[in-house]
Amino acid sequence: MNSEASLGAFFSAVRKGRAVIVEGLLEKGIEPNSRDMYNQTALSLAAANGNESVAKLLVKHGATIDSEDDYSRSPLWLAAEKGHLEIVELLLENGADANSKSNSGQTLLQRAVQRSNKELVELLLDNGADIEANSSSGQTLLSLAVKKGRAGIVELLLQNGAGVELKSQSGQDLLWWAAKRGNGEIVKLLLENGAPTECEGEKHTLLQWAAKRGNEVITKLLLDNGADIEATRYMVPTPLLLAACHGHEQVVYLLLENGANTEVTNKFRLTPLLLATVRNHEAVVRLLLENGAEIPPFVESKEQPAALLLAIERGNEAIVKLLLENGADLDDPGYGSHIEATGRISYTPLSLAAKIGHKEIVKLLLRNGADIEAKGVYNDTPLRLAARYNHEEIFNLLLEKGALPLEKESDVRWIAEKHW
C-alpha cells in the first residue's frame, strides 16, 4: 500500500485537507509516518496547512507527534508558526513537547512571546512550557514581552511566576524600560507584582524622570506604590522642582496632593515657585500658591532673586498679578516679594517695569500702590528710567500719575533731543 502512487495520492489528500480520502488510505495500511519528497511527514504537512480533521486522523492512527523535518521543525512548531492554535492544542494534548526548540535553540514559548501571540503563550504555559527559559543571548521571556509592549503577555508571565526584578539584556530594570516607553499598563503590572520603584545604577529616580517629562500616569503609579517624593539622586532636583520647571501642571498637582515640599530649592536656590515664574508657567504658579507655596522673601545677600522681579523681567503680567494677590506686601520691606524691594538686578519692581517698557505691568503696580518715586541703588526713579530707555508712553503715564518732573539739566536736555 506504500507504493509511489499511493503515497502521492496520500500526500495530495493531506495537503488539500481531504479527510475522507486520508482516512480510507490509512485504513488500507498506508504508513502514517511516511515522508514526502521534501522529507516532511503527513502530520507536519497537515499541521502547517491547518487541516485539523486530517491531523486528528493521523494522530489517531499513530503518527509520531514530534517528528521533525530537515529544518528541525516539528508539527507543533509548524502549526504554531502558522497560527493554527486548534492543531497546537491537539498536538499538546497528545504528548507534543511544549519545550521543544528550533535548530537555533529558541523555545516555542520564546517564539510566541517574540511574535506577541498571547493565545499561543497561554496555551503553552497551560501545557508546561518553561517560563524561565532564557534566549541564547540571555534575555528572559518577561524582558522580551516588556520590550514588545504587550501588557497581556506580561500579565500572563507574571501570573505564572516570572520574576519582576529581572533586568533587560542591557542591564536596565524592566520597570525603567516600560516607563521610558510610556507603557503605564505594564508599569502598573510590574509594580503590583513587587517591582522596586527605586532602581540601582540610575542617575535619577524613576519618579524624577516621570515628573520631568510630565507623565501623569506613571507619576501616579509610582506615588501610589511608595516612591520617594523628595528624591534627589546625583544632585538631580526633586520631582516637584522638575515638574514646576517644565510646566507640567497635572504632575505638579499630583505631587502636591501627595505632600511634596513646596519650599525645596535647587542648587541655584530656586524654589518650585521661582522656577515656574522664570519659565512663565502661570498655571503652575497659581497651583503652587493655592497649595501654600511661599513667595520667597527678598534676600539681602542676593543669593535668591525676588519672585516679583523675575515675573516683571519676563513681562508676565498674569504672574505679577498672582504674586501681588498672594502676599507681595506693600508695607513690609523685610518680608515677601516686596513691591519696593531692590532685587538682584538693582531695580525696584516699578523701576524695572519702566526700564523694560512693560506699560500694563507699570499700571498694575501703580494700582497696587507702588511708590512712584522709589529709587534703586543707582538712584534712578521710574520716570528717569522710562525716559532713558525711550518709553514715551510709560513716561507720560508716570507724569499723569503724579511723578515729579525731571529736574537735572542733562535729563531735560536728553528728553528735548528725543522731541517728546
Instruction: Give the tens place of pLDDT for each residue, 179-214.
Output: 989 999 999 999 999 888 887 656 889 999 999 999
Count of domains observed in the chain: 3
Task: Work out the average pLDDT over 229-252.
Answer: 94
Residues 6+ apart with CB under 8 A from 81: 48, 73, 111
The predicted structure's pLDDT at residue 324: 93
Q: Same structural domain for residues 323 and 242?
A: no
Residue 267 lies in a domain: yes
pLDDT (mean) for 205-234: 94
Q: Is 176 a domain residue?
A: no
209 and 304, same domain (yes or no): no
Is a pLDDT exceeding 90 seen at residue 248? yes
Tell me the one-letter amino acid at 42. Answer: A
pLDDT of residue 105: 85
Contacts of 50 (CB under 8 A, 6+ apart): 79, 82, 84, 87
* pLDDT band at residue 301 using 50, 70 and 90 as cut-offs: very low
The answer to whether the beta carbons of residues 197 and 222 sit under 8 Å apart is: yes
Given a cut of 50, whether residue 334 has pLDDT beyond it is no
Domain end point (choices 67, 89, 111): 111
Phi/psi for 369 (5° steps) reads 95, 20
Mark whether 306 and 230 lie in a shared domain: no
Give the domain CATH number at 221.
Answer: 1.25.40.20
Do 313 and 399 lie in one domain? The reply is yes
Cα 202 to Cα 194: distance, rounded to the nearest angstrom: 19
What is the average pLDDT value for the chain, to the nearest integer? 88
Mean pLDDT value across residues 341-349: 65
Strand partners, 41: 35
Write out pLDDT tens, residues 140-167. 899 999 999 999 999 999 999 988 766 6
Q: Would residue 173 count as lying in a domain? A: no
Residue 122 maps to a domain: no
Express each pLDDT in 358-373 by its tens digit. 999 999 999 999 999 9
Identify the domain boundary among 89, 111, 133.
111
Q: Which of 384, 388, 360 is nearest to 374 (CA)?
A: 384
Q: What percentage of the chain reaches a pLDDT higher than 70?
A: 86
37: containing domain: 1-111
Has residue 341 got a pLDDT over 60?
no
Task: Give the pLDDT mean for 68-94.
Answer: 94
H/E stretch holding 399 reads: helix 392-400
3 C-beta neighbours (distance < 10 Å), count: 9
Domain end marker among 67, 83, 111: 111
pLDDT at residue 407, rounded to an integer? 72
Q: Is the pLDDT of residue 5 over 80?
A: no
Do 255 and 227 share a structural domain? yes
Asked whether residue 181 is assigned to any structural domain, the reply reads no
| Alpha-carbon span 39 to 34, nearest angstrom | 9
- pLDDT at residue 299 in the model: 55
What confidence score (pLDDT) does residue 342 get? 53
